Structure 1
Amino acid sequence: MQSFPFHSLLAATLLLAVPAATLAQPAPAQGHAQNRFQVINRTGQEASAVHAVRSGRADWGGNLAPGPMPSDKALTLRPDADTGCRFDVRLVLGDGREAVKRNQDICATPRVVLESGDVQAVASGTPTRPAPGQPNPKARVSSGTGFVVAADRVLTNRHVVDGCDRVFIRTADGRMLPAVPPAKVDANLDLSLLAVPGNPGPALAFRSGPAVRRGEGVVAYGFPLPGLLSSDPKLTRGEVNGMNGLGDNPTQYQISAPVQPGNSGGPLLDLHGHVVGVVVSKLNAGAVSRRTGDIAQNINFAVKGTAAAEFLRRAGLTPKTEDSTGTEQSAADVGEAANRSTVFIRCER
C-alpha cells in the first residue's frame, strides 16, 4: 500500500465473536425390513455407546453398538415392527457428554444424524476441555469464508485465521471439519492455504483466460454477518470496476459486488463460474468521510485470481484451471456451483 495508510482507510472483513462411510453392524433381524434405519455419528469424536428407544420411554435401555463407534461412521438398526416410527436416539461420547435427538420419524427419514450441535452435558457436568476435533462453545470466535482449491485444501484470507488457536470449516453438507496446522500463508497477498482432511468439497476452477476486463460481471459468494443474518451463504452481483486495488495495488481488483464482514476469503467468480479473485476487504466509508468529507459507496477489493493461483503453485499445488468461453451463466447457476465448494470458517481463540 503505497499511496494511503492502509489501516486508516480499509476495514478488513473479519467479524469477531461471531459422505458418512457406512459401518454396517446390523442387530439381529427381528422385524420388518422397512423399519431398518441408520444412526450416523458426525459429532467429531468416538461414541462408546449407542441407544435408540421408542419416543417417550423413561430409560435408554441397553447399548446397541458392538464396539466403539468412530466419528463419520454409521450403525444400522432393525427395531421390532410393533415399536412404531418415533424414536429417541443417543450417543455416549468419549468426553463424557452425550448427543441426543428425540422424536425422530424413522419411517419418513431412515437416517438419524447426530452432529456437534446435538452434543450436551450430562448430569455430571460439562468437561472443562473440548474434545479433540470438537468446536469449543466457550471459545472467543471470529469467522470468514473459504473455498476448496484441491483435495482437502481450502483457500481463505490470512487475516481470517491469523492468531487462531483452532480452525474449523463447515462444509456445504453441514459437516464441521478441523483444519490441520500449519497453514501456508502469503502475508503480502493476505492469503492462507488450509489443510482440511475429510473431503470438504469439489475444487473450484480458476479462470485461465481470457484476461479479465474492466466492466465484467462477477459474483461474490460467502457468509457475511453470521449471527445477524441467516447462516446460509449469500450471493451478490457486481462488476470489476478497476484493475488495481487500494493505493494502485497490482495484485487486487476493485469490485462493486457488495461484501460485508464475514465475506473475507470467499470466491469471486465470473459468469462462467470460474474463480477470478478472492474477496479480501472493503473501503471504510466512515474513515474516508472523515478524511474527504464525502461518503464512499460500495468500494470493495479482491485478490486477483492469477495472484492466488500463483500462490497455490508456490505452496505445491496445481490449481484447477479452465477458460471462460461460450455462453455466460446466470448468477443463480454460478451460485449453485459455488455452493458445493464454499465453506464457513470458524476461528477459535
Structure 2
Amino acid sequence: MQRNLALIPALLLGLLAGGDALGQGKPPPSNVPEARSGFPPLPTSKPPALAPGQQAGPAGKPGAPQGGGTGRMVSSGTGFVVAPGRALTNAHVVERCQAVRVRTAAGTDVAARVLRADRGRDLALLEVPAEAGPPLAFRRQMNIRRGEGVVTYGFPLAGMLSSGPTLTTGEVSALAGLADDQRQFQISAPVQPGNSGGPLLDLGGNVVGVIVSKLNAARVAQRTGDIPQNVNFAVKGNEALDFLREAGVTPTLRDTPPRTAAEVGETAHNSVLFMRCMG
C-alpha cells in the first residue's frame, strides 16, 4: 500500500492551479494559519509567456489587503464567495503567493487576503471585499450518489482559453478519490489547470464540492498502455462545510429542485472569482 501511495504525486496533474506557484516541498507562508498539515504539494503547469512588451499585473505584499509594487502572475485558479466578505478556494492556489488578486463577475480587480489554510483538505479561506459577489449556497443534505449530475464553473487555462468563465457538466463517478481518499469525489466533468478552487454544483445550483485535481493521463498511459478519460477529483462538500465552520463562517444551506445546466451557471456566475497568485 505504501508503494502505491508513493505513486500518487506522479498520477496527479498540477492540482489544477494554472501556474508554477507551488514548487516542491516548501512550507506555506508563515502568516497563514494552518488547520492541518502533511498534504504534499504537486507540480503545476507554467503560465503562458508574456508577449514582447507586455507587462505583468500589480502585486502586493504578503497578507496585505492592497497591492503594491510590481510583480507577475505565477499561477491562477478559481474561487467562490461563501459568506459576505469571504471566499473559498484550494490551499494550493494561494500557497506562497506574495499577493492574491481576484476579478469579480463585474470585472472589478481587487485584492484578497488569506485568512486560513488547510493543506490536508487543500482548502483556503480568503477575505475579499463585501461587494465581491453574493454567497453561493451549499446543499443541505450531502447525500451524493454515484451517477448524479454535476456542473463545474471556473477559469481554466487562463491566457489560452476564454477570459470569461467556463461551464462543464458530468457525473459523480465514485464516492472516494485517488487511493480511496474519503475526503474527495471522483467526477467525470472535464476540468483543466485553472479550475482549482471552483465550485462543484449539483443540478439545483448548490455547492457539493470544490474542484481540486485531475489524473495525469499521460503518466498513467506510460505505466498501463491505456489513456484514462475524464478522471477528475473534487473535495467533498461536507469537508468544505467543516472547514468553514471551524473558521467561524456560517455557510448558507438549501435544497433546490433540479434545473438546466445553463440555469445553474447563471446562478453561480456572480459568485465565482478569477484568482491570480502574484509573485
Q: Please indicate the TM-score interval, normalised by the length of the shorter structure.
A: 0.7 to 0.9
Q: How has the CA–CA distance of structure 1 residues 140 and 177 changed in structure 2, closer, same or farther, with 3 Å as cutoff?
A: closer
Measured after TM superposition, the shift of residue 180 of structure 1 is 2.5
Distance 1:17 1:186 in 2: 20
Q: CA offsets per residue over residues 271-300 of structure 1, 9 Å max, x none? A: 000000000000000111111111111100
The within-5 A match list for 1:65-104 is: none
Asked if the contact 1:135/1:168 (under 8 Å) is kept, the reply is: no
Corresponding residue for 1:168? 101
Matched AA of 2:108: R
Q: CA offsets per residue over residues 115-167 of structure 1, 9 Å max, x none? A: xxxxxxxxxxxxx9979834766424210000000011010000000010000
Corresponding residue for 2:19? 16
Distance 2:80 2:59 in 1: 29
Matched AA of 1:188: G
Corresponding residue for 2:50? none
Asked if the contact 2:59/2:99 (under 8 Å) is kept, the reply is: no
Q: CA offsets per residue over residues 35-88 of structure 1, 9 Å max, x none? A: xxxxxxxxxxxxxxxxxxxxxxxxxxxxxxxxxxxxxxxxxxxxxxxxxxxxxx
The within-5 A match list for 1:307-346 is: 307-324=239-256, 326=257, 328-346=258-276
Please say if 1:187 is aligned against 2:119.
yes
Which residue, 86, 99, 111 being the options, matches 1:178? 111
Asked if the contact 1:142/1:348 (under 8 Å) is kept, the reply is: yes
Measured after TM superposition, the shift of residue 6 of structure 1 is 2.0
Please say if 1:295 is aligned against 2:227.
yes
Structure 2 length as normaliser, TM-score? 0.80
Q: CA offsets per residue over residues 170-222 of structure 1, 9 Å max, x none? A: 000011111124x2011111000001124210000111126111100000000
Asked if the contact 1:17/1:140 (under 8 Å) is kept, the reply is: no
Distance 1:13 1:237 in 2: 17
Matched AA of 1:151: P
Identity %, equivalent residues = 55
Corresponding residue for 2:83? 150
Q: How has the CA–CA distance of structure 1 residues 7 and 167 changed in structure 2, closer, same or farther, with 3 Å as cutoff?
A: same
Does 1 or 2 have the higher relative contact order (CA < 8 Å, sep 6+)? Answer: 2
The within-5 A match list for 1:37-48 is: none
The within-5 A match list for 1:212-291 is: 212-291=144-223
- Give the helix-richer structure, 1 or 2: 2
Q: CA offsets per residue over residues 215-264 of structure 1, 9 Å max, x none? A: 00000000000100110000000000000000000010000000000000
Q: How has the CA–CA distance of structure 1 residues 243 and 129 changed in structure 2, closer, same or farther, with 3 Å as cutoff?
A: closer
Distance 1:240 1:17 in 2: 29
Q: How has the CA–CA distance of structure 1 residues 177 and 284 changed in structure 2, closer, same or farther, with 3 Å as cutoff?
A: same
Asked if the contact 2:205/2:267 (under 8 Å) is kept, the reply is: yes
Distance 2:203 2:278 in 1: 35
Distance 1:144 1:221 in 2: 11
Please say if 1:304 is aligned against 2:217.
no
Q: How has the CA–CA distance of structure 1 residues 168 and 129 changed in structure 2, closer, same or farther, with 3 Å as cutoff?
A: closer
Indicate the structure (1 or 2) with the bigger Cα radius of gyration. 1
Distance 2:239 2:278 in 1: 28
Q: How has the CA–CA distance of structure 1 residues 153 and 317 changed in structure 2, closer, same or farther, with 3 Å as cutoff?
A: same
Distance 1:164 1:346 in 2: 9
Matched AA of 1:189: R
- Give the strand-richer structure, 1 or 2: 1
Matched AA of 1:339: H
